[in-house]
Amino acid sequence: MNKIKLLLVEDDESLAFIVKGSLELTGGYEVFVASDGRKGLEAYISFSPDVIVSDIEMPEMSGEEFVSQIRQKDKKIPVLFATAKTSPQDLIRGYQFEIDNYIRKPYLCEELDAHIRGVLKRVGESRPIEKAVAVNQDTYPLGLYLFHVKHRYLQLGDKHIKLSVREVEILWMLYEEKGKLVRRTDILDKFWGKADFYTSRSLDVFIRNLRTYLKEDSSIEIITERGEGLILRLG
């Protein structure tokens, strides 16, 4: 069985030592540690990781700048931010860098392992974007908007609203079941692999973004059924 090649970008030497030792002890990982974003960029080239876990606040180069530069070269490699920050503003800012998930500090190595394996599993599965392309259709009517799935944007007349990968995935899931209840737990399981404080808060951020993007058409609603899930209602 091939080992998972993890690039851990972390300036806390004690934490990095524990994570590297614990994950490699399982026999399922090969871990390369970089102490800041600049060294992380060098390691990305030399190590060719399968997945990246990065701290955010680091010397030399922050995690955000590091991931921004990675995304200019590689849109597909899974990236997780490890942080103690929990505010909606922090989550929104993080997802602007097209990360795949957050893990909340402090964390157990078993928890990190679960997050990584969940992300890799989802990446290995067929994504909604790919399913849309497979049926040779990219553009879907959404009220006054056009939903361009493959190219990841909403169109309203001449206005184009760029969407993140996760925003496309969530909107597509709701679109496929428009008018029907999509359970919150199903969304969290599908895109995050678990339901916890961080994943639930992240979903709230994405739904808030989508409502903002779609606000020009009052006939479109993303309705929250408390304790149940979400409904995309058109007209």
What percent of the residues of the chain are helix, what percent strand, and what percent coil, each to the nearest 5? 45, 25, 30
**Per-residue model confidence as pLDDT tens digits over 113-124:** 988 988 888 776
pLDDT at 128 over 80: no
Asked if 178 contacts 232 with a C-beta cutoff of 8 angstroms, the reply is yes
> Band of the pLDDT at 224, cuts 50, 70, 90?
very high
Q: What is the pLDDT of residues 86-101, one digit of tens each?
A: 677 777 777 788 888 8
pLDDT band at 136 (very low <50, low <70, confident <90, very high): very low
Record the pTM: 0.66
Residue 124 pLDDT: 67
Q: Output the CA torsion sign for 43, 55, 49, 171.
A: negative
| Cβ atoms 60, 47 nearer than 8 A | no
36/87 Cα distance (integer angstroms): 24
Cα–Cα separations (whole angstroms), residue 225 to 90, 218, 222, 233: 26, 19, 10, 12
Examine the pLDDT at 22 and tell me if it is beyond 90: yes
197-215 residue pLDDT tens: 778 888 998 999 999 999 9
Residue 112: predicted pLDDT: 92
| Cβ-contact 33, 20 below 8 angstroms | yes
pLDDT in the model for residue 141: 92
The residue among 88 and 225 whose pLDDT is bigger is 225
Kindly tell me if the per-residue pLDDT of 107 is higher than 70.
yes
The domains located in the chain, with CATH, are 4-124 (3.40.50.2300), 128-234 (1.10.10.10)
pLDDT tens for 151-190 read 889 999 999 999 887 889 899 999 999 999 999 999 998 8
